[in-house]
Amino acid sequence: MEYPQILDQVRAQVADVVGGGRVADYIPALAAVDPGQFGMAVATVDGAVYGTGDWRVPLSVQSVTKVFSLALVLHADGEAIWRRVSREPSGNPFNSLLQLEQDRGIPRNPFVNAGALVVTDRLLTLTGDARGAVRDFLRAEGGRPGGEPGGLAGVGPSIDFDLKVAASEAEHGHRNAALAHLLASYGNLENPVADVLEHYTWQCSLVMTCEELAMAGRFLARHGTAADGSRLLSRSDAKRLNATMLTCGTYDSAGEFAYRVGLPAKSGVGGAILAVVPNRCAIAVWGPGLDASGNSVAGLAALDAFTTLTGWSVF
């Protein structure tokens, strides 16, 4: 079966759940997003890209960017980040203060908010511009070298920050601020709290399409090889990043996600999920309605259908 036919079948199978769940209304700029949208794109390791639905509509990728910031830190700094962040699944919400305090300032994994703050902090030290480093990497891998600023309204083709989302998250990001101050109290931040929060918030506000997101994630299906053929990560580091996505990438329902889908994945509260089929492709799916854990209802259903139709998983 060819990719276009697979994607058409997936879209038909999930039609009943598209629009289900609840948008991330605790971020006012995301509360206005139409929950009835659905897009899915597949970027193969040999360079082809296929899509269905709203796969070229710009969306707020939110926590999916944590994959790329971690990859950049691993590329520049090797294993050092793992002295500051653990790699264990979290049974608590992604913004839990209680878990961070119980673990004495060492975040449970790099994909909960506390862990991502530590990764952003290290990237800021390494580059001087963490948010810009992530944006530039996504542009290079996602096939958009520049252009007019993008946005949720679909203005312009390029991968860029959404000013309204960034401002909305900064205004309502009290729990992230609390996490950052708690990290600093344990000596687990190198830079001022305000600087780390600014770069983290802007990074989460990045806007791109499913097409671009799938292309950007393709280096993980290629065992760490970037779009230009250079080696971003060693095969070992790419394997470890994929493994961390599998066990920790979908908040406190990673077990359920692994059970149903069987692929490394990272979700975001904008409704996007990036999944990886090693040696084959990267998949980006988007449905703004979220379940109780913060994962896209339609996205999870689509990836479940995709792996069932293809028989592809890491197991």
Question: What is the predicted pLDDT for the residue at 94?
Answer: 85
Give the pLDDT confidence of 87-144 residue by residue, as tens digits.
Answer: 999 878 888 899 999 999 999 999 999 999 999 999 999 999 999 999 999 999 997 5
Q: Is 70 exceeded by the pLDDT of residue 286?
A: yes
Question: What is the predicted pLDDT for the residue at 271?
Answer: 97
| Buried-exposed string 41-73: b where 16+ CB fall within 10 A, e elsewhere | bbbbbeeebbbbbbbebbbbbbbbbbbbbbbbb
Enter the pTM of the model. Answer: 0.94
Q: Is 80 exceeded by the pLDDT of residue 156?
A: no
Question: What is the predicted pLDDT for the residue at 32?
Answer: 87
Task: Please report, rounded to a whole number, the percentage of residues in the chain having pLDDT higher than 70.
Answer: 96
Q: Is 60 exceeded by the pLDDT of residue 149?
A: no
Q: Is 90 exceeded by the pLDDT of residue 25?
A: no
Question: What is the predicted pLDDT for the residue at 26?
Answer: 82
Question: What is the predicted pLDDT for the residue at 54?
Answer: 97
Mean pLDDT across the stretch 239-268?
95
Q: Is 70 exceeded by the pLDDT of residue 293?
A: yes
Question: What is the predicted pLDDT for the residue at 92?
Answer: 82
Rounded distance between C-alpha atoms, residue 106 and residue 117, angstroms:
11
Question: What is the predicted pLDDT for the residue at 252?
Answer: 85
Give the pLDDT confidence of 194-228 residue by residue, as tens digits.
Answer: 999 999 999 999 999 999 999 999 999 999 999 99
Q: Rounded to whole angstroms, what are the CA distances from 21 to 36, 53, 105, 150?
A: 10, 19, 33, 26
Q: Is 70 exceeded by the pLDDT of residue 23?
A: yes
Q: Is 80 exceeded by the pLDDT of residue 151?
A: no
14: confidence class by pLDDT, cuts 50, 70, 90: very high
Rounded distance between C-alpha atoms, residue 102 and residue 227, angstroms:
41
- Residue 208 pairs with which residues in a beta bridge? 59
Catalytic center residues: 63, 66, 200, 251, 269
Question: What is the predicted pLDDT for the residue at 90?
Answer: 85
Residue 281 Ramachandran class (φ > 0 left, ψ -120 to 50 alpha, else beta): beta
Residue 262 Ramachandran class (φ > 0 left, ψ -120 to 50 alpha, else beta): left
For 47, residues 6+ apart whose C-beta sits below 8 A from its C-beta are none
Q: Is 60 exceeded by the pLDDT of residue 243?
A: yes
Rounded distance between C-alpha atoms, residue 229 and residue 104, angstroms:
41
Rounded distance between C-alpha atoms, residue 144 and residue 157, angstroms:
8
